[in-house]
Amino acid sequence: MPLRSMAIGIDIGGTNLRAARVSGTGEILERISEKSAPDPELVLSRIAEMVRRLDSPEVAAIGIGAPGRVDAQLGAVLSGGYVNLASVSPAQRLESLAGKPVVIDNDCNMALVAEMALGAARGHESIVMFTIGTGIGGAVVQDRRIVRGKATAGQLGHITVDMSGEACVCGRRGCVETTSSGTALGRHIARAGLGPDVSVDQLFARDTGGDALARGILEAWAGPLRAAIDTTVAMFDPDLVLLGGGLGLAAHRALARAPALAPWYQCPVEAAQLGDDAGVIGAGLQALAAQAAVAQSAVAQASPMSLPTVRLDRRAVPGRRAVLVNGIPASGKSTVSRGIAERMGWPLLALDTIKNPFLEVLGGGDREFNRILGRASYQAIWSVVGEAPAGAIFVVDAWFGFQPRQVLEDHLRNAGVEQTAEIWCHAPGEVLAERYRARLDQRPAGHPGAAYIPELIELAKRAEPLRRGPLLDVDTTKPIAFDTITQWLQATIAADK
């Protein structure tokens, strides 16, 4: 096998996280799975550990299939459902941790890529796919190309099948995800008075034996899915509808209770063939395809060409400005600061970004050495700010309470910073402890270890924001409302002065 002809594919689900080292032909060479979690930081930590275990010199890139609305071109998760990674910038974070290029796309898109290459969609040109799991994902292909719209087309799980139905995580009611997902099947079973240990296979067995209750549950589960399928057939006129995900085969079987009746909306419906492997295979293949495209582009651009014109912002804005993203360790401030930098286009200066390379080169040290290096890194941040052009805006990620307030004021004055805005990131101490513990093995030697966790919990009880200028409070146990943050920054610090 040629050098660097492999990729790591990652499939993020509401119940399980799967990762595999995948060959260029889609063969799974090694696989790992972990339980998913509602905390996006924990999910990212577990993914990073799986990548570390699977990585090798032959791995050229990493692909991630993520639930929800994903802008593949920007490499950003815009919103999620049962696992919402919009707040943690998974592609950028993992690329930084692994040192290899990362592509990210909707998980159903990744699964459909695999089915086109190796599974039930081989030879088909126009395909619609539903993945039935904790939620319902969707993907659409025309001429063997993913349909994206302006960014995130294909959210088939949010086709409305009941205007007055269950509330959906997307904010509307009656989406097919609320009636025909694995989560919805559990609700149907509970409402019928059956126990939570009743499986879908047991429902089929009961139905075969003439159990009207079981048949009613299967019909309530499959009927809305049939309506959603008919809707997509009317919209896209595909030559194949695929049902994948952990419950795809069961959903395909249940549709026998809800056949298509309207003559206009007939289309073959088949179960996907790759099962739970589809997501990791598709993610790996997409990562390798992206690397091949980059290589081709580099060759095409090797000929002489004119330099691009640089557009300069010529607003006369005196002084420099800084967004102080503040919070104690594991408070989520790094996630917030990265999200701001990506959306606003402002340079990000983080304490650990400067400090960690020194710890790695010097081989770590004790806690006192870590503190000394932290103070030096803090000074380096403000030295960089002081060398920037007038009017520059920086995002600074640090726990500003680790040094006396006057030290910060001196740095700001020396760097010519005339205006600051503060974003205070926080979470309960127990949450911070779990986050800190989950990433202990991802930090260079020299950072405090597990013994620091009780101190961290106590620190969370007394830590306070600086309250220097405008202040925005961010509870990082909730999905990060980046639209609100960016609007606030536009009004408080980015407006012309």
Alpha-carbon span 416 to 320, nearest angstrom: 6
Question: Which residue type does 118 have?
Answer: L
Determine contact, residues 255/225, Cβ cutoff 8 Å: yes
| Confidence label for 61 from pLDDT (cuts 50, 70 and 90) | very high
Please state the rounded mean pLDDT for residues 1-16: 80
Kindly report the average pLDDT of the chain as a whole number.
Answer: 89
- Looking at residue 297, its pLDDT comes to 57
pLDDT digits (tens, 9 = 90+) for 284-321: 999 999 888 776 655 555 544 433 433 333 333 357 99
- Looking at residue 79, its pLDDT comes to 84
pLDDT digits (tens, 9 = 90+) for 385-423: 999 988 899 999 999 988 888 889 989 999 999 999 999
Residue 338: HSE in the Cβ half-sphere, 13 Å Cα cutoff: 17
Alpha-carbon span 275 to 175, nearest angstrom: 24
Higher pLDDT, 219 or 439: 219
Determine contact, residues 14/83, Cβ cutoff 8 Å: yes
Alpha-carbon span 445 to 367, nearest angstrom: 10
Is residue 106 over pLDDT 70? yes
- Which CATH number is correct for 320-494, 3.40.50.300, 3.10.20.600, 3.40.1010.10, 3.30.565.10? 3.40.50.300
- Looking at residue 1, its pLDDT comes to 39
Alpha-carbon span 333 to 426, nearest angstrom: 8
The residue among 291, 283, 286, 289 whose CA lies nearest residue 100 is 291
Distance in angstroms between the alpha carbons of the first and the last residue of the chain: 59
* Residue that has been written with the tokens 């298509």 in this structure: 260
With helix as H, strand as E and coil as C, how does the chain read? CCCCCEEEEEEECCCEEEEEEEECCCCEEEEEEEECCCCHHHHHHHHHHHHHHHCCCCEEEEEEEECCEEECCCCEEEECCCCCCCCCCHHHHHHHHHCCCEEEEEHHHHHHHHHHHHCCCCCCCCEEEEEECCCEEEEEEECCEECCCCCCCCCHHHCECCCCCCECCCCCECECHHHHCHHHHHHHHHHCCCCCCCCHHHHHHHHHCCCHHHHHHHHHHHHHHHHHHHHHHHHHCCCEEEEECCCHHHHHHHHHHCCCCCHHHCCCEEECCCHHHHHHHHHHHHHHHHHHHHHHHHHHCCCCCCCCCCCCCCCCCCCEEEEEEECCCCCCHHHHHHHHHHHHCCCEEEHHHHHHHHHHHHCCCCHHHHHHHHHHHHHHHHHHHHHCCCCCEEEEEECHHHCCHHHHHHHHHHCCEEEEEEEEEECCHHHHHHHHHHCHHHCCECECCHHHHHHHHHHHHHCCCCCCCCEEEEECCCCCCHHHHHHHHHHHHHCCC
- Please tell me the pTM assigned to this model: 0.62
Higher pLDDT, 15 or 310: 15
Alpha-carbon span 161 to 228, nearest angstrom: 7
* Residue that has been written with the tokens 């509307």 in this structure: 172
pLDDT digits (tens, 9 = 90+) for 136-168: 999 999 999 999 998 899 999 999 999 999 999
User: Could you tell me what percent of the chain has a pLDDT over 70?
Assistant: 92
Is residue 452 over pLDDT 80? yes
- Looking at residue 14, its pLDDT comes to 84
Beta-bridged to residue 132, according to DSSP, are: 136
- Looking at residue 200, its pLDDT comes to 95
Fold: same for 6-105+278-296 and 320-494: no
State the helix-helix crossing angle for 212-236 and 182-191, rounded to 10 degrees. 150
| Confidence label for 26 from pLDDT (cuts 50, 70 and 90) | very high
Tokens linked to 271: 């179960």
Enumerate residues 6+ apart whose C-beta is below 8 A from 201: 250
Tell me: domain 6-105+278-296, CATH 3.40.50.720, correct? no
Neighbours of 7 (CB within 10 A): 32
- Looking at residue 303, its pLDDT comes to 47
Q: What is the largest CA-CA distance in the chain?
A: 81
* Residue that has been written with the tokens 């270890």 in this structure: 449
Is residue 427 over pLDDT 70? yes
Alpha-carbon span 212 to 248, nearest angstrom: 23
Higher pLDDT, 409 or 355: 409
Is residue 96 over pLDDT 60? yes
Tell me: domain 120-272, CATH 3.40.630.30, correct? no
Beta-bridged to residue 271, according to DSSP, are: 243
pLDDT digits (tens, 9 = 90+) for 236-279: 999 999 999 999 999 999 998 888 888 888 899 999 999 989 99
The residue among 178, 130, 184, 183 whose CA lies nearest residue 154 is 130
Long-range CB contacts (< 8 A, 24+ apart) of 74-77? 74/151, 75/102, 75/103, 75/104, 76/104, 76/342, 77/104
Higher pLDDT, 317 or 97: 97
Alpha-carbon span 179 to 176, nearest angstrom: 5
Higher pLDDT, 96 or 441: 96
- Looking at residue 313, its pLDDT comes to 35
| Confidence label for 4 from pLDDT (cuts 50, 70 and 90) | low
* Domain positions in the chain: 6-105+278-296, 120-272, 320-494
Residue 146: HSE in the Cβ half-sphere, 13 Å Cα cutoff: 26
The residue among 281, 278, 261 whose CA lies nearest residue 130 is 278
Please state the rounded mean pLDDT for residues 29-45: 93
Is residue 229 over pLDDT 90? yes
- Looking at residue 327, its pLDDT comes to 95
Question: Which residue type does 395 have?
Answer: V
pLDDT digits (tens, 9 = 90+) for 179-207: 999 999 999 999 999 988 999 999 999 99
- Looking at residue 2, its pLDDT comes to 41
